[in-house]
Each structure stands twice: as structure tokens, then as C-alpha cells.
Chains A and B, each alone.
Chain A
Amino acid sequence: MAFEYAPAPESRAIVDLKSSYGLFIGGDFVDGSGHAFKSVSPATEEVLAEIAEATANDVDTAVAAARRAYTRTWSKTSGAERSKYLFRIARIIQERSRELAVLESLDNGKPIRESRDVDIPLVAAYFFYYAGWADKLEYALPHRRGATTTPRPLGVAGQIIPWNFPLLMLAWKIAPALAAGNTVVLKPAETTSLTALLFAEICQQADLPAGVVNIITGAGETGRALVGHPDVDKVAFTGSTEVGKAIGRTVAGTRKSVTLELGGKAANIVFDDAPIDQAVEGIVNGIFFNQGHVCCAGSRLLVQESVYDDVLARLKRRMATLRVGDPLDKNTDVGAINSSEQLARIRELSAVGEAEGAERWSPPCELPDRGFWFAPTIFTGVSQAHRIAREEIFGPVLSILTFRTPAEAVEKANNTPFGLSAGVWTDKGSRILWMANQLRAGVVWANTFNRFDPTSPFGGYKESGYGREGGRHGLEAYLAE
């Protein structure tokens, strides 16, 4: 007899949504001067709220507020006091964690299991971690010579974050920036503004001085205005490689400091001596975690030919147990695709995969009628030349390739302009270290995948961007010697 799991929806009642939201500038919510746009729930297409689009004038106001706060307040606030503000914020995030998790799932479409167990706990952890750095900056740059002064903040940071981990990416940006003594103007992605706006409320609850954190909402134009603003000292961006390059060109010739966290096409490499059941979990976690909307997703599976059939059979069996559907259901494993635009892109590249001759497979799964959905999908018979093996799909789509020797695995893994992450599965210790050494990627997960921690530097090689987030290294991006 089949074990059906009855619906187990997390209650929405904890979230108090307003019908419209303004911009958070200088410590207050203000009306923007631009048009409002709608934020929809990707699972239902329900309009959640109207969001103000920040114009160039609004950006100017926000940067001015950040500059004022930097000059008059934050740069005169001791490290110890900044530290306590960040600890306070971390605590409020923990206290309001369920509310944040529900709102994140509602707005982004990710399963509540992930927002509850991964995103929000990590958000608090990043604030806790960087809180402790704020009064220890003289230890943050150990390679400074004979310094008698504390490293200096850069000033006003303009930060632009993506829609895949809205609040977590905010934490990655704001926590180190504030710890180092900068003030920030942050723009969330236009499809996922709501948790950033709730974070603005948290800043108010924490009595954070006005203007230290400014949240401006909007799309590409707003971002461009922020990046190009002459009074921004530091630009931090997480998003597509295409936009990253545009930012690079905009800031060329300026003295703005830049960090870019961009796309990836990570190889997840499974050897014949891998701990096979954990490897299959790692493959699933690597590509179906967060609907595959993960820059470091293990989107290229490289399997040693001798275990290909076995791995494929196990993977398919495991995929059949994935539960796709309502993000607020506590048993959902794979939620909604974040937007209709992203869904269109995933569909388009999947169609290309088929057209190029790769074989497509998805487990039987019923998708809801409304909203943006894509079934977990794998492609077999993929070669390096296929577009689905080269381009970032940013969805729950896995391309499977094979290899025969460790050297071939490395060659294929590195044969991409990206270099963000890689996975290695084998029981042989010396091979793990050899592979880790050979792979041109900023993060190598051996016998695990998609792990994140505030103490652990994260960032890419090559066209996956530059700079690191997390750990002491992450602080360097916000400090001048």
C-alpha cells in the first residue's frame, strides 16, 4: 500500500504583507519617484505586493543617505558598537526566522524545508560571524606590514543581489560590509524584494543608525544607476556573468573596488569507487537544491564509464521520490521556478538539448496548473560540444557525461570558461587531493556538495568572477589597507 503524504502546509498567517512597499532610505520607508511594479508568487502567480521602482534620483538620494551615515555616524561608531548592532540583527533574524522563511518561500518559490533549514539559519550565521569581526579588524589583514592603524572601510558600498537566495545573498553582502565599517545601498532582484524589505524593518528594530543600510528596489536600470553612481566606492554584485561584465566595463577607469560572484557550470565527478548512495544524494542535492537556481550547482555530472549504468539507475530511482509542488508544503523537495522569464530560458535550453540529440528524462510528476514549474530533468548522451553542457541553465536540469580516467575527468571539468565550483566523489584520499589540486574552481566539494558556511571563503575562478565572500577573505573586499 502506498504511503501518501497528506498536505502539510506551513501557515502563511505569520507573514504580514502590505499591499505596497516603498524604498528604505535613510532609515525610513519612502515613496519612490518611479512606477510601482508587482511582485508575484511564482507558485501561484498571485500578486503579493506592489514594489516601488527606484529611479536614478532615488538612487542618488539613497547613496547620499549612505554617504551621510558613513561620514557622520558609522565611521565614528567603534568596532565594538558596530559589532553589537550586527549581533542584535542576527538575533532578530533568529527570532523572526519562521516569518522570514515563509516570506522567502512565498516570494521566491523555494521549498519551505530549504528556506527554514538552510537559507534563514545561514543568514543568521553570517551576521553572527561578521559581527565578531567588527572590533577585530586589525587582525583581518595579516599580510599588512608593520601597520599601526586599523584597516579602513572603503566608504559607501553599492550591492546588487540575485533572486535565487534573496535574504542569504543580502547577508553575504551586508554583514561583512557593515562589520568593516562601510554603509550600504543594496538592491535586491526585482522578483524577490520582499525579504530585503522585511530586513529593512529588522534594521529599524535593531535601532541601526539611519542610512547605514538602504534598500532600493527595482530592476536593471536601478542597478545600472547604482553601479554608475560616482559616490559609490565599492560595487559588489552576485548574478549573471553577462551583467557582471557590464559592471566591469562601467567601473573601468574608476577607483571603485569591485567583487563579482557570477555564473558557473560545475562538474560533479563520480568515480567508480565512490560511496555510491551518498554520491547519488550529492548529485540530487547538487542540481535539484533550490530548483537548480544555484550558481555553483553541479549541473554537469561526470560519471566514470564503469559505473555509469548503476549511477544512472540509482539517480532515476531517487529522482522519482522527489516531491515537486507547493513551496509552503513542508514535504516539498522542489519548488517553483522563480519567474516566467527563467522558466522560458530553462525550456529553451532543454529544447536545444533535445534538438542536439541528447536524451531527456524526467520522473513522472504532476505539476500544478498555475505558476511556473519545471520537472526535475536529466539529459544523457551529452557531449562537451552540446550547449546544455556549456551554458548555465540555472534550473533543475542535469547534463550527464562520462569519462574513463582521472585525467580525462579533470580535462572535461576544466574545459569551460567558468570556474566556480566542482564536486568529487571517491573513497581514495590521495585521488581527492589530486583532483582538488587540478580542478580550476574556487570551491571543491569532495564527497559532499553545496555546503556553505560563513567561515568558508566562496567565489570563482575565471569567468565566474573575482573576490571571495565568507571568512576572513570576505572581509578583505570591504577594507582598504
Chain B
Amino acid sequence: MPSDTRLDVRKTYKLYIGGKFPRSESGRSYVVNDSRGRFLANAAAASRKDARDAVVAARKAFPGWSGATAYNRGQVLYRVAEVMEGRRDQFADEVVAGEGLTRARAGRSVDQAIDRLVWYAGWTDKIAQVVGATNPVAGPYFDFSIPEPTGVVAVLAPQQSSLLGLVSVVAPVVAGGNTAVVTSSRDRPLPAISFAEVLATSDVPGGVVNILTGSVGDTAPWLASHMDVNAIDLTGVAGDDEHATALEVAAVDNLKRVRRAPDAEPDWTLDPGLSRITSFLETKTVWHPIGV
């Protein structure tokens, strides 16, 4: 080896659970290739037990995250955007490698992902004013309805859009105060792990977002049937009707809120609207008499 070329230090890609980066408890990993089939890295293949651990971590983080002020959650999510911006090139590299985009398009995709986080960061303390209400009941009662987070949400992130898609499905869930167990794109997991590193170095409490790499088939059924998961977003199995239906059936066991898989992966560059926030909110109505 010529003495003027330095051997690069490769990164070990691991899972992100409860604010830590464990290997899969199964000890298994799988090869991640770039868009042209060249070896990029070995990624951890999450197992059902990793999924279980991630749910425990997400549940543990839920009271703190849902109980934080909306202002605080907005600050934290904006902080995530700031830290991403600082690692823009790294994300762009990973998107180029994984999605086969040109450098310029990958850069735009990273920019959009960061901007989307900023957009959702701003929603944390506004959503209640848009979807909440005071209800003019016909009686001497003060009656109001407020949105509250559903709880622990399993998010099957899209398979194609490895960063913009990922951010587009995770940010609304946590902006609403939920905690998330995310399964990343199987074939393009590297931006997800880098995103986890961003989360870990922002102010996001451990367990609020947990990221599992590997095949969605290994973990999603366990998440779908898990009795301590409150909702599931099936975006990651878009187009796979059979799989999606099986997951939807499993989700009925504890009546999870299900965001169904679309027929095909959506165009993530489009305006997302609010439905990804509201899909994972409950409405709580409170009554109190008015008297002296």
C-alpha cells in the first residue's frame, strides 16, 4: 500500500435504542450495498427482541416527552435540524451512495429533510390551537377538547427515500409528543443511523426515537402485535398489500391506530399537510361546571 494513501476508518453501524447504540441482540448483521451493488457497510439486523427492547425504551421515555412543554419539544426538534445542518455533507454522501442520486439532488434532498424538521419543530406549540377547540355546550359547563399524543408509535419508514422520507415520517410523530420505534429502510439504512447519531447529540431524550435497521419483516409483525404499542404507521410496506394487511390485522389486537400503507411510496418533496401529526393524536374532551 502506498505510504501516501491513508486507510480510512470505517464506521460500525448499530441500532439506536433508549439513547444507546447497541448491536442487535441476535448478533446478526447484513451487508449494505450502494445503489450500484458495491459494499458499503455491515448493518445490524434487528430482531424481535430488539423491537421489544425498543418498545420498552419508548414507553419509558413517553411520560417525559409527552409531559414536556410543547415549546420545549419545538426547541429540541429545531436543535436536531441545527445539528443535521452541520453534518449536511455526510448525509449527502450517504444519500448519494444509497439512493444513487446526483450530488446536487442528494444535497437538495438533505436540505428538504432539514427544512422539514424545522417545519415540524414549529408545529409542536401550534397544533393544539388548530385542532383543539372549546365547545359551546348547551349548559353551564366549560368544555374543551385538546389533542394529546397517542403513545408509543411504531413507524415503518419508507424503503426508498432513506433520509427525507425517514424524517418526514418520524418528525410528525415526535412533534405531537409521541415516542417512536422506527424501522428504517432495509437496503438504505445508513442515513437512519447517522440520523440517530444526530438525535443522540441533540437534546432528544433517550428512548424518544428508537431506530431499528434490518428487514421490516423481522420486526414489524412483533411491533404490530405488541400490546404496548399504541399506533403503527405502515408507510414502509407501501405496495406490499399482503404484508400490510397482515400487519393491520395484527394491530387490531389492542386496537392500534393504523396509518395504512399507501399504494406506492409518496413523493416526499410535496407539502406534507398535517395528517401525519393528527394521525397520532387523540382528542381529549374535558368538562367542568361553571358556577360560583
Residues of A within 8 A of B (CB): 125, 142-145, 241, 244-245, 248-249, 252-253, 255, 260, 262, 417, 432, 436, 441-448, 451, 453, 455-459, 461-463, 465-466, 468, 471-473, 481
Contacts and interface: CB of A to CB of B under 8 A. Distances in A.
Interface of B: 130-131, 133, 135-139, 141, 143, 145, 150, 230, 241, 244-245, 248-249, 251-255, 257, 260, 271, 273-275, 278, 282-289
A444 B283 CA distance: 11
A361 B225 CA distance: 40
Given A248-B252, A260-B255, A451 B130 contact: no
B248 A253 contact: yes
What are the 6 A-B residue pairs with the smallest beta carbon separation, nearest first? A253-B245, A248-B252, A252-B248, A453-B137, A143-B274, A455-B135
A443 B283 CA distance: 8
Contacts of A463: 254-255
A125 B285 contact: no
Contacts of B285: 442-444, 456-458
B145 A471 contact: yes
Nearest to A444: B286
A133 to B, nearest CB: 14
B245 A451 contact: no
Contact of A252 (B252, B271, B283): B252
Most chain A CB within a 10 A radius of its CB, from B130, B245, B253, B286: B286
Contact of A451 (B133, B139, B278): B139
B255 A244 contact: yes
A81 to B, nearest CB: 26
A249 B256 CA distance: 12
Given A249-B252, A252-B248, A448-B141, A471 B288 contact: no
A451 B249 CA distance: 34
A245 B249 CA distance: 9
Contacts of B245: 252-253
16 contacts: A248-B252, A252-B249, A262-B255, A436-B286, A442-B285, A444-B285, A446-B288, A448-B141, A448-B287, A451-B139, A451-B287, A455-B143, A456-B137, A466-B257, A473-B283, A481-B275
Given A252-B245, A253-B245, A457-B145, A432 B288 contact: yes
B239 to A, nearest CB: 13
Most chain B CB within a 10 A radius of its CB, from A253, A443, A448: A253
A443 B282 CA distance: 11
Contacts of B249: 248-249, 252-253
A462 B230 contact: yes
B273 A145 contact: yes
Contacts of B141: 448, 451
A143 B278 contact: yes
Contact of A443 (B136, B244, B257, B284): B284
Contacts of B248: 248, 252-253
Given A462-B230, A465-B255, A471-B145, A446 B135 contact: no
A143 B131 contact: yes
Given A253-B248, A456-B145, A446 B286 contact: yes
Most chain B CB within a 10 A radius of its CB, from A245, A248, A255: A248
B133 A253 contact: no
A447 B289 contact: yes
B282 A461 contact: yes
Most chain A CB within a 10 A radius of its CB, from B260, B282, B287: B287
Contacts of B274: 143, 145
B20 to A, nearest CB: 28
Contacts of B137: 451, 453, 455-456
Contacts of A249: 249, 252
B253 A145 contact: no
Contact of B252 (A245, A447, A458): A245
B284 A441 contact: yes
A481 B254 CA distance: 28
A227 B145 CA distance: 30
A419 B64 CA distance: 20
A266 to B, nearest CB: 13
A186 B136 CA distance: 29
B284 A448 contact: no
Given A143-B273, A253-B245, A453-B137, A417 B254 contact: yes
Contacts of A444: 284-287
A298 to B, nearest CB: 13
Most chain B CB within a 10 A radius of its CB, from A255, A463, A472, A473: A473
Nearest to B142: A446
B133 A471 contact: yes
Contacts of A471: 133, 135, 145
A461 B248 CA distance: 18
